């Protein structure tokens, strides 16, 4: 059962997303987030010492969606990776507008640190050992997929095509260096 720290983090994440639709990322402070969440700043700070920490928590929760696909029955690694990557994309959909606003306003230094963790979650969900080379390769795939998703509207056809293409490229490139699957 989620306790008060989990509730404070969840409230902080929700408040951060709400604020991101109202003003630029750099104008949002942790104090603003605490006020919007109805939390004392000290309580929010005890579970997330920055808005970047809240973003990391949100990313981790969305990664869990990719891990939930681990039960996907398929003998084909490509299909499992595709399904796990799409699960991660779909986990972002409810928060699409604020995530896009953050991506457009925040520097790559704010967003990029989350990508290797997401890449590892996708690999693990697909049952692919997360070696260093594979995590790096999947991080590059995820970075491009996230960029395409940001500009893709509607049924996510461009995003799905990008996932398919990048996963095929990743498989070929990893095979060239002996790190394939």
Provide the pLDDT for residue 73.
76
Extract the residue ranges of the chain whose pLDDT is less than 70.
Answer: 1-3, 71-72
Domain ranges of the chain: 4-176
Dihedral sign computed on CA atoms, order 86, 91, 94, 97: negative
What does the pLDDT look like over 105-154, one tens digit per residue?
888 778 888 999 999 999 999 999 999 999 999 999 999 999 999 999 88
Provide the pLDDT for residue 3.
56
Provide the pLDDT for residue 23.
95
- Contact criterion met (CB below 8 Å) for 110 and 55: yes
Please report, for residues 85, 139, 154, 173, 174, the alpha-carbon distance to residue 134 in angstroms, rounded to integers and kept in the order given.
14, 8, 30, 10, 7
- The answer as to CATH 3.40.50.970 being correct for domain 4-176 is no
Provide the pLDDT for residue 1.
38
């Amino acid at each position: 059962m989620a306790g008060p720290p989990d509730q404070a983090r969840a409230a902080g994440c929700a408040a951060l997303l709400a604020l991101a639709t109202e003003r630029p990322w750099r104008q949002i402070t942790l104090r603003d987030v605490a006020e919007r969440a109805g939390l004392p700043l000290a309580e929010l700070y005890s579970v997330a010492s920055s808005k970047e920490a809240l973003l990391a928590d949100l990313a981790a929760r969305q990664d869990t969606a990719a891990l939930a696909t681990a039960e996907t029955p398929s003998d084909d690694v490509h299909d499992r990776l595709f399904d796990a990557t799409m699960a991660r994309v779909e986990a972002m959909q409810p928060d699409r507008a604020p995530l896009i606003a953050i991506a457009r306003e925040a520097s790559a230094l704010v967003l990029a640190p989350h990508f290797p963790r997401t890449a590892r979650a996708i690999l693990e969900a697909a049952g692919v050992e997360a070696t260093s080379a594979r995590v790096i390769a999947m991080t590059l795939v995820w970075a491009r997929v996230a960029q395409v998703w940001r500009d893709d509207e509607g049924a996510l056809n461009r995003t799905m095509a990008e996932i398919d293409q990048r996963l095929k490229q990743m498989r070929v490139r990893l095979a060239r260096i002996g790190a394939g699957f």
